[in-house]
Structure 1
Amino acid sequence: MVNDTGASATAIERAWAVLHGVPDPEVPVISLCDLGIVRDVRRGDDGALEVVLTPTYSGCPATEQIEQDATAALVAAGLGPVRLSLQRAPAWTTDWISADGRRKLREYGIAPPGPVEAGAAVPIRLVRRGAPVASIACPRCGSLQTERLSAFGSTACKALWRCLSCREPFEHFKPI
């Protein structure tokens, strides 16, 4: 049990700072915090540091790696013992990506998702037939003269696009 509230608050602040430096394993330019995966950091009744994570989707293959990377970084920073838990509700949404995270995605060459209106979440579908696809701005040149090449990119949460102006391919992080 941690009795010194000030020391506990400092450890939690340090933990947040450490987690801001842990990259997402699939998109290493953005941190777990900027991606919105880290939901909370607190002290448990037993004094262990508790980190609450919400995966981008329940079948995300990177979840175990994210847990391992976060734990390793916190332990290496002397903040152990650490306990991680997954919180799947409310479900993660691309609205949780920070403004800095969106900027980093764009600079990396991935078109960040736009905002999702409340109640209008867009589920990831294996096949979307007949639905019109809005143009996505090219993260390299900003042109809206783009076309979707594939509903899936390197991961299920991204789609593959091509800019017709600069001719460069890019991925778009799907809004969900």
Structure 2
Amino acid sequence: MDPEVPAVTVADLGILRAVDIDDQGRAIAKVTPTYSGCPAVLAIELAIEAALRQAGFDPVIERILAPAWTTDWITEEGREKLRAYGIAPPVAGSSSKRALFGEITVACPRCAATDTSKLSEFGSTACKAQYRCNACHEPFDYFKCI
């Protein structure tokens, strides 16, 4: 689980790239942080380590920095979980300059209306922006494209 987005697992987010068992029986978890300054990365790694230890493995966490994580790695199940939790998932194609720098259409996670307005580039965490739905008038977080 991501401590900043508890509705989804690190596998849903694409942060946990793989878990391999080596010749010595150690579980090697390959983790790609969402971005280099993510304040949750240590908590995420400790949670993965604890889960592997609880499953009876000697855990090793391997931080993988290349290729860099992108919101395109979020699974469809993860996107649905974000939506159900009240967070609008990032638009697809995060590598596109339009998704990163242009105007995008963000659907309300509550009523699915696309008539929404960005209130602030900064939401409840660094990876989210604050929006409001002009149809149901509810505020919501949008998971920014990275």
TM-score (norm 2): 0.92
Q: Which runs of 5+ in 1 are unaligned?
A: 1-22, 124-130
Please state if 1:44 is matched with 2:22.
yes
Identity across aligned pairs (percent)?
51
Matched, 1:172 2:142: yes
- Report if aligned partners of 1:135, 1:147 keep a CA contact under 8 Å in 2: no
Q: Indicate the structure with greater strand content.
A: 2
Q: Which runs of 4+ in 1 moved over 4 A?
A: 117-123
Deviation, 1:157, is 1.1
- CA positional deviation for 1:44: 2.6
Shift of 1:58: 0.8
- Residue 148 of structure 1 corresponds to 118
Give the total of aligned pairs: 146
Gaps of 5+ in 2: none
**Counterpart of 1:63?**
41
Match of 1:97 in 2: 74
Q: Is the 8 A contact 2:91 2:106 kept in 1?
A: no
- Pick the structure with greater CA Rg: 1
Q: 1:134 aligns with which of 98, 101, 104?
A: 104
* Aligned partners of 2:49 and 2:59 also within 8 Å: yes
Alignment partners' CA distance in 2, 1:91 and 1:149: 28
What's the RMSD between the two structures over aligned residues?
1.8
